[in-house]
Every structure is written in C-alpha cells, then in structure tokens.
C-alpha cells in the first residue's frame, strides 16, 4: 500500500473524521508491505498484510477468494475502457477501481501517467505495489472527502451506501462510473451512458455540511 495514500484513508466506522496512523513494520520503497493503520478515535486497527490493507474489521475474517486472472487482452480492454470513461488521460491523482474493474489495476497504471490506482476488493491476482494499492472494504469506501479524482464501481460495490461514500470521496468534477442499473447518486451529473454503464461527474458543491453554492450564477449586484 502506497505510503502517501495513508492520508487519504478514513476510518470506515461512523464517527467524526480523523486521520489514521500508520505503523509500517516492513516498508519497500514507498509501499507499506506489512503493518497496521490505527484509528485514534475509536481504536480500530486495520492490518496491512502483503501490502493489502483490510478495512473489513474483525467480523469478516474470511480469506480472499482465489480466482483465475483474466487473459491479458481482456485486461487491456478493460483498462482502456476504465481510463477513457474516467478521463485518466491527465496525469496525477488517485483513481479507485472496485471489484471486477480492479482486475485491470496494473494495466490502468501502465496506460496513465503518474496516476495511483487504489484497487478495492480486487480479484486475487492483483498484487499491491508498482503504483497499485490494494484495500479490502466493508460497506463504505474508506476514503476522506474530496481525496480522489475518479471511481469505478462494479455491481457488487454499487450499493446506495457505497455509492454515497464514493461521491463524498470524489474531488469536484471527479468522475464516477457505475452499472446502468445503479440509481444516479445525489451530487452526480450524468455525462454519458451505454448498455453497460453510466459515467457522471461530481458537482462543484455537494451537500456535505457547509457547502457553498459554487454553481450559482454570478450576481451582478
């Protein structure tokens, strides 16, 4: 897990926002390979094992399902679709790929310039490192408000709760991609849709506490 991503994470438990504290037991380059993220507010501890940070909590101790990696061509096509729909041609920032999208995490890194990819609940073959960070999530995206530029939700992650936490985690004008069956969450304007997915953009101002009416027309008073 990329060290600089630690500042983007939040404790998924329902309490006020706090930064998580990283305890890196084994650091390779700028990736935490073994360690722990701790929440100073509620005391929750999230282990990092083989570079994978697990936010699911003690209740879910189930191992990740071992699956066969899709072939290279399928991964390359998936990565190109994700990069195009999420507008990842501009360099920099963090893009989040959940579930089936996360299968192409390393291909997306290869296609883009200085974009860090956070793979949430990826298939088993996706390893952490080389621009890809891996996290296992519960029912919300464990990221701070306005911390990432783009998020792709697969069917398993397109729940109302997960989608709402994703909108909150997006920067203004950040892109959200979801299956067509998913209702457009509050705060997202639809840009396009086809038979499979819609893609939308986060509004400048979203009702998250003290929101300014940034999109209001200029006042000529």
Which residues in this chain contact Zn ion in the complex, by CB under 5 A?
A: 11, 13, 39, 41-42, 44
Q: What is the CA radius of gyration of the chain?
A: 17
For the CB of residue 211, give the shortest distance to Zn ion in the complex, in Å: 24
Nearest to 162 by CA among 174, 149, 153, 175: 153
**Cα gap 49→69, rounded to integer Å:** 21
Contact 181, 189 (CB under 8 A): no
For the CB of residue 38, give the shortest distance to Zn ion in the complex, in Å: 9
Minimum CB distance to Zn ion smaller for 58 or for 194: 58
For the CB of residue 104, give the shortest distance to Zn ion in the complex, in Å: 31
Contact 16, 42 (CB under 8 A): no
Number of residues in the chain: 221
Minimum CB distance to Zn ion smaller for 13 or for 81: 13
For the CB of residue 43, give the shortest distance to Zn ion in the complex, in Å: 7
Minimum CB distance to Zn ion smaller for 39 or for 97: 39
Contact 179, 196 (CB under 8 A): yes
Minimum CB distance to Zn ion smaller for 13 or for 56: 13
Q: Give SS3 for 188.
A: strand
Minimum CB distance to Zn ion smaller for 18 or for 114: 18
For the CB of residue 19, give the shortest distance to Zn ion in the complex, in Å: 11
**Cα gap 47→38, rounded to integer Å:** 9
């Amino acid at each position: 897990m990329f060290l600089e991503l630690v500042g983007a994470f939040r404790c998924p438990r329902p309490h006020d926002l706090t930064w998580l504290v990283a305890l890196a037991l084994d650091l390779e380059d700028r990736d935490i390979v073994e360690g722990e993220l701790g929440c100073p507010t509620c005391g929750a501890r999230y282990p990092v094992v083989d570079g994978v940070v697990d936010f699911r909590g003690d209740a879910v101790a189930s191992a990740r399902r071992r699956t066969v990696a899709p072939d290279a061509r399928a991964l390359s096509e998936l990565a190109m679709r994700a990069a195009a729909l999420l507008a990842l041609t501009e360099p920099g920032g963090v893009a989040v790929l959940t579930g089936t999208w996360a299968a192409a995490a390393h291909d997306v890194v290869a296609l883009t310039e200085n974009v860090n990819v956070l793979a949430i609940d990826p298939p088993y073959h996706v390893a952490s490192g080389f621009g890809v960070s891996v996290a296992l999530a519960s029912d919300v995206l464990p990221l701070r408000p306005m911390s990432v530029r783009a998020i792709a939700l697969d069917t398993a992650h397109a729940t109302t709760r997960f989608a709402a936490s994703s909108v909150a985690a997006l920067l203004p004008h950040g892109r959200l991609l979801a299956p067509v069956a998913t209702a457009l969450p509050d705060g997202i304007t639809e840009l396009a849709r086809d038979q499979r997915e819609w893609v939308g953009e986060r509004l400048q101002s979203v009702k998250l506490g003290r929101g300014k009416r940034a999109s209001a027309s200029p006042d000529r008073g």
